Amino acid sequence: MKPVYFLLFVFGMLIFAGCQDKPHQLTIVEKKEIQKEVQDKYDQMMKAINKLDARAWSEYMRKDGFISAFLGTEYYGTRKDYVEVITKSFAERDKQKVEPKTVQVTALSMEHALLTSQEEAEIRLNSGEVLKVLHVYTLIWKKEIDGWKIIHAHEAWEDIK
């Protein structure tokens, strides 16, 4: 009688496993659409950055559900803290030109995407000092009703000699 219970158990597990929702496999068309939408948002965000418009830049950060950000090795656990430090940094600058060199968007699901990028930047501080840096982003985007928003950011940079 024990083999019957074992077979019933195995049969039940197979039925249970077959009833589970499988993750949606993105089609090539869906991936390309997500890549285009996120790339467009990134391009718009870069325009705000080049205008030193911290308010417009901050609109790309998710208001509810923002997870975290790193600037170099500094951790910011709230959207508010991250936006404040970027706003202060922009206020110290007279002008800047940030030019993307490489941008890669990877669709993770219908509502999540990963963007990595590398930019060259020339920043003129209010003091007149000019900085040339290589900057990188790792951004996790989430699809919202009103479009794609960043839920996690990591950015780092180094001086260009």
- Indicate which CATH number applies to the domain containing 139: 3.10.450.50
User: What is the pLDDT, as a whole number, of residue 3?
Assistant: 58
Domain annotation covers residue 120: yes
Domain annotation covers residue 81: yes
| Per-residue pLDDT tens over the stretch 65-85 | 999 999 999 999 999 999 999
User: Parallel, antiparallel, or unpaired: how do β-strands 130-144 and 147-159 relate?
Assistant: antiparallel
Which of the four pLDDT bands, split at 50, 70 and 90, describes residue 119? very high
The Cα–Cα gap between 117 and 20 comes to 37
Tell me what percent of the residues of the chain surpass a pLDDT of 90: 84
Domain annotation covers residue 78: yes
Domain annotation covers residue 16: no
User: What is the pLDDT, as a whole number, of residue 19?
Assistant: 53
Domain annotation covers residue 89: yes
| Per-residue pLDDT tens over the stretch 125-145 | 999 999 999 999 999 999 999
The tally of domains found in the chain comes to: 1
Give residue 33's domain range: 27-159
User: What is the pLDDT, as a whole number, of residue 121?
Assistant: 98
Which of the four pLDDT bands, split at 50, 70 and 90, describes residue 7? very low
Domain annotation covers residue 66: yes
Domain annotation covers residue 126: yes
Domain annotation covers residue 47: yes
Enter the tokens of residue 80: 């508010």
Give 73's DSSP letter: T
